[in-house]
Amino acid sequence: MNNRRKIAAGNWKMHKTLLEGQGLAHEIRTMAETELMNNAEIIIFPPFIHLVTLKKQLEGSPIQIGAQNMNQHEQGAYTGEISAAMLSSIGMNYVLIGHSERRQYYNETNDSCASKINVALAKGLQVVYCIGETLEERNDTKHFTVIENQLEALKGLSSSEMKSVVLAYEPVWAIGTGVTASAEQANEMHQHIRNVVSTLFNNEVAEGVSILYGGSVKPDNAKGLFGMSDIDGALIGGAALSSRDFIDIAKSF
């Protein structure tokens, strides 16, 4: 057993109206407070416009809350964008950076992710940095190299800043597809990620960083994943839209 933080994080993506989101948050809170007996941390990532309301609603609860994205610039003429300082000012605990859907549909690169990570940390946010290879990259056996390149975005951070970083390995081929990487496949990559972090920083940082797995995590596969040596939790999409499934996953540590 290690003493890394165990985390169940729910990425709501572009789902739920405000009323529906309030209902889901209420159910998650109630179930977490009455059923969750382990020390798992629970984080939800609702859409931007729900954040202020849900932050208030969840006050005094064990549920932490974060944003799904932010802009890499500190401030300026970037119509429609949200800054790290704004997220900080409404009490956000976390921000997701580099989700594969953002890389795929909004041209996010390792460089823009690096800028975002730096700005987020400077504004006191904790970062969940998402990395993962496509099916094509895995079939070409490039998956380890792809991950190494994505982890370059952490270069230049201090060891103490790394305490505010959580990594999420999400193979693109397993997201929303119903196909999960096997627990062994996922753990193999998590170990590789830890080795890369050790090279970029040191062994202590590598052993301390929580690495979540994401991609079709459900109550029936969570236990197998969490039982692996280097899997410290999950970033959950579809199943996080059901309070029952989300809490059952969090209970699987």
Q: By CB under 6 A, what part of segment 93-152 binds ligand PGA? A: none
Cα distances (Å, whole numbers) of residue 45 to 15, 23, 65, 214: 11, 15, 6, 14
Residue 23 Ramachandran class (φ > 0 left, ψ -120 to 50 alpha, else beta): alpha
From 111-119, 154-162, 170-178, 203-211, give the range in contact with ligand PGA by CB under 6 A: 170-178
- Choosing from 40, 235, 249, 250, the residue that interacts with ligand PGA (CB under 6 A) is 235
Query: If you search the block for the tokens 């119509």, which residue do you land on?
Result: 79
Could you say which residues in the range 4-43 bind ligand PGA, by CB under 6 A? 11
CB of 52 to ligand PGA, least distance (A): 23
d(CA 53, CA 208): 33
Which of 56-59's residues contact partners 24+ apart within 8 Å by CB, and which partners? 57/22, 57/25, 57/26, 57/29, 58/25, 58/29
175 binds ligand PGA (CB under 6 A): yes
Instruction: Verify whether residue 99 is a known catalytic residue.
Output: yes
Minimum gap (Å) between residue 252 Cβ and ligand PGA: 14
170 is catalytic: yes
Of 60, 57, 64, 59, nearest to 18 by C-alpha is 57
Catalytic residue among 101, 108, 133, 170: 170
From 99, 101, 133, 137, active-site residue: 99
Q: Are 128 and 141 spatial neighbours (Cβ–Cβ below 8 Å)?
A: no
The site map against ligand PGA for 184-223 (x = CB under 6 A) is: ------------------------------xxxx------
Assign 69 to helix, strand or coil.
coil
Residue with smaller CB distance to ligand PGA, 87 or 235: 235
Q: Does 87 bind ligand PGA (CB under 6 A)?
A: no
Stretch that binds ligand PGA, among 63-71, 78-86, 103-111, 235-243 (CB under 6 A): 235-243
Buried residues in 78-111 as b, exposed as e (16+ CB within 10 A): eeeebbbbbbbeeebbbbbbbbbbbbeeeebebe
Question: How many of the chain's residues bind ligand PGA (CB under 6 A)?
Answer: 13
The yes or no reply on residue 237 touching ligand PGA (CB under 6 A) is yes
Active site residues: 99, 170
Give the interface with ligand PGA as residue ranges (CB under 6 A): 11, 170, 175-176, 214-217, 235-239
